[in-house]
């Protein structure tokens, strides 16, 4: 903690007393006062009153340009008119049947037209569909082990709760990471079935296949790692993973929960020109409603069609969410929308880079589609070990300083990224950059002071 950061925290507390009180009350009945552990941050999280378009208000009445957008689930923005209209129409017809109603086919066809898949099953969250995708891979291959990337997040289920945020001293050889269980309560033995490789390292993945012959069912990966802010794949990396999976008889699962509805019209499949064996979609495809899907070829999905593998869920394909999803695919996730958002994102990344250079900040901005991030690191992050050394205090200073000036630059935590919605405007981006330009000199000064102190301490020692 240093004076400039302490000052921003004090301003935050003065601006948001109702959030502080609401969090205190909520903590009496809800663990740490929030519905998901990620939503808590010290001294307390903002409590939101309402959202419309590109903006939200907290319960103290403060307005923010919102680039949190529910951890990237709102490419549509808040209360998109087309989505709201579709949902309102369904509410008077029926909200839950537990029986087929025809909208499943309608939405499945929209997904198959856009992505290189032939059949689709639906769920309610990204965690659900990655869990079922792994079960699907095991059912098809008859194998048990999976390979995931160090620092990768694919939901909260046991199989992927390994090496999500391992600490230095735990994670072992950078070329051959030690699997580290990420939570108390994860099933014993999970780390034996979940193998871990560094992102952007094909040789490490090949080594795991060779060390575990005929045992690996699948590789699962985010095409852009967004659990370490924003980490792009090296050229040819995703294609290399697909080729390794094929060579060793495994399936290649692409977790497009974050990219599928925000990177490009056809997601990462189109953007990187790669075809996975199993595709996972979620977050933005529901337009603000809990919708997710896993999809594959008819051959892969045959184990479900023949009822060799079980997949179920009471709320799967409920009509309200299906209506939201259909409206989102038809009227929100359009090529024109991706062009508009892509232009805004480029302006934001370029603006950040210009300001960074002007004030001498040791940092960089990167982005693609509707996502991007400011990274307090001297060069491009390529994997979890790079990201691990990002300056957390400078990032915290950045986040609270932006928030205090009406910009939710991204969700709290330095492993997250901003999202731009179809309802953001050029004016929103200009305001975002204006605020960053205002605070950047203080960030650069704090960074310089911290480096000087660090150099002095090293010299003395």
Cα angle 232, 334, 432; round to 5: 60
**CA nearest 81: which of 340, 331, 420?**
331
In the three-class reduction of DSSP (H, G, I as helix; E, B as strand; rest coil), residue 332 is classed as coil
Task: Please answer whether residues 237 and 202 qualify as being in contact, where contact means their C-beta atoms are separated by less than 8 angstroms.
Answer: yes
Q: Which residue has the tokens 């780390």?
A: 191
Q: Distance between CA 239 and CA 445 in Å, rounded? A: 42
Q: Where are the alpha helices (DSSP H) in 314-425?
A: 319-331, 335-359, 384-387, 392-404
Task: Please answer whether residues 53 and 30 qualify as being in contact, where contact means their C-beta atoms are separated by less than 8 angstroms.
Answer: no
Q: What are phi and psi of 440, to 5 degrees?
A: -55, -40
Q: How many residues does the chain have?
A: 461
**CA nearest 414: which of 451, 389, 382?**
389
How far are the Cα atoms of 63, 72, 202 from residue 269, in angstroms, in the given order?
Answer: 37, 19, 19
Q: How far is CA 303 from the centre of its chain?
A: 29
* Catalytic site positions: 153, 255, 283
- Extract the tokens encoding 304: 């479900």
Residues 6+ apart with CB under 8 A from 96: 314, 315, 318, 319, 320
**CA nearest 268: which of 306, 280, 70?**
280
Q: Distance between CA 89 and CA 394 in Å, rounded? A: 47
**CA nearest 447: which of 400, 403, 405, 393?**
393
Q: Distance between CA 166 and CA 383 in Å, rounded? A: 13
Q: Distance between CA 399 and CA 408 in Å, rounded? A: 8
In the three-class reduction of DSSP (H, G, I as helix; E, B as strand; rest coil), residue 429 is classed as helix
Task: Please answer whether residues 126 and 257 qualify as being in contact, where contact means their C-beta atoms are separated by less than 8 angstroms.
Answer: yes
In 175-269, which ranges are E strands? 176-177, 194-197, 216-221, 251-256
């Amino acid at each position: 903690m240093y004076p400039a950061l302490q000052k921003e925290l004090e301003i935050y507390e003065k601006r948001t007393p109702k959030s502080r009180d609401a969090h205190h009350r909520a903590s009496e009945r809800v663990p740490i006062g929030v519905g998901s552990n990620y939503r808590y941050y010290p001294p307390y999280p903002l409590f939101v009153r309402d959202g419309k378009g590109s903006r939200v208000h907290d319960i103290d009445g403060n307005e923010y340009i919102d680039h949190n957008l529910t951890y990237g689930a709102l490419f549509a923005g808040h209360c998109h008119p087309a989505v709201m209209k579709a949902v309102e129409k369904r509410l008077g017809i029926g909200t839950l049947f537990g029986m087929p109603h025809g909208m499943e086919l309608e939405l499945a066809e929209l997904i198959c037209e856009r992505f290189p898949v032939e059949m689709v099953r639906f769920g309610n969250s990204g965690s659900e569909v990655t869990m079922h995708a792994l079960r699907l891979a095991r059912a098809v291959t008859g194998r048990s082990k999976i390979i995931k990337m160090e620092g990768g997040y694919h939901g909260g289920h046991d199989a992927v709760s390994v090496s999500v945020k391992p600490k230095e001293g735990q994670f072992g050889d950078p070329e051959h990471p030690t699997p580290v269980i990420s939570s108390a309560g994860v099933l014993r033995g999970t780390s034996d079935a979940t193998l871990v490789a560094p992102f952007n390292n094909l040789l490490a993945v090949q080594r795991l296949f060779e060390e575990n012959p005929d045992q690996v069912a699948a590789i699962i990966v985010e095409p852009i790692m967004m659990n370490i802010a924003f980490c792009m794949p090296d050229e040819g990396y995703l294609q290399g993973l697909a080729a390794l999976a094929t060579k060793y008889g495994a399936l290649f699962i692409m977790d497009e929960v974050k990219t599928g509805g925000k990177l490009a019209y056809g997601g990462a499949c189109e953007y990187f020109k790669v075809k996975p064996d199993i595709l996972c979609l979620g977050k933005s495809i529901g337009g603000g409603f809990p919708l997710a899907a896993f999809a594959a070829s008819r051959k892969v999905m045959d184990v479900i069609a023949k009822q060799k593998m079980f997949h179920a869920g009471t709320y799967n394909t409920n009509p309200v969410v299906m209506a939201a999803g259909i409206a989102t695919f038809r009227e929100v996730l359009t090529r024109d929308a991706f062009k508009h958002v892509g232009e805004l994102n480029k302006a934001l990344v370029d603006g950040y880079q210009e300001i960074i250079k002007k004030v001498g900040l040791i940092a960089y901005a990167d982005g693609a589609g509707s996502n991007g991030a400011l990274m307090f690191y001297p060069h491009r992050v390529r994997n979890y070990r790079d990201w691990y050394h990002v300056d957390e205090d400078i990032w915290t200073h950045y986040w609270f300083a932006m928030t205090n000036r009406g910009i939710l630059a991204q969700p709290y935590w330095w492993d997250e990224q901003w999202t731009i919605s179809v309802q953001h405007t050029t004016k929103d981006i200009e305001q975002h950059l204006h605020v960053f330009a205002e605070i950047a000199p203080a960030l650069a000064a704090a960074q310089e002071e911290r480096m000087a102190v660090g150099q002095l301490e090293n010299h003395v020692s």
